[in-house]
Amino acid sequence: MKANPIEDQTQKFEKGLKSSGAEQYVLRLYVTGTTAKSVQAITNIKRVCEQHLKGRYALEVVDIYQRPVLAKTEQIIAAPTLVKLLPSPLKKMIGNLANTERVLLGLDLRPKEGGAEK
């Protein structure tokens, strides 16, 4: 029962890897109302996504003031936090996403130093 979805995911992942640069990105940005940092974060992630992930991303912006329960279930401490749900591994980027280099690194859109691993 349980084995199937995992297998499916693995297959999907491997397929995705093969068709490189074509993975679907599922992102969720947790913000706190309309604070300066929140607004900056939204602007920044939109820019990055449009530039690098055009057409293959889903971005959801969540205001944790509105949905505080999510802060607990999703283990959100810092705000703003961008969570990369897919492709795995899960990654959390905290801050207003002003440092584009680091955002790209977090989104696995920049090859890490030392070349490709595996």
| Binding stretches for another protein (CB under 8 A) | 30, 32, 35, 37, 40-41, 44, 64-65, 68-69, 71-72, 75-82, 89-99, 102-103, 105-106
Token pair in block for residue 82 = 């961008």
* Distance linking the first and last C-alpha atoms of the chain: 30
> 23 or 48, CB closer to another protein?
48
> 22 or 98, CB closer to another protein?
98
Distances (CA, A) of 28 to 11, 55, 59, 67, 85: 24, 16, 6, 13, 7
Q: Give yes or no for a contact between 67 and 45, defined as CB atoms under 8 angstroms apart.
A: no
The dihedral region occupied by 80, where left means phi > 0, alpha psi between -120 and 50, and beta the remainder, is beta
d(CA 63, CA 7): 34
Cβ 103 to another protein shortest distance, Å = 5
> 23 or 32, CB closer to another protein?
32
> 2 or 72, CB closer to another protein?
72
Cβ 1 to another protein shortest distance, Å = 24
Cβ 36 to another protein shortest distance, Å = 9
Cβ 79 to another protein shortest distance, Å = 4
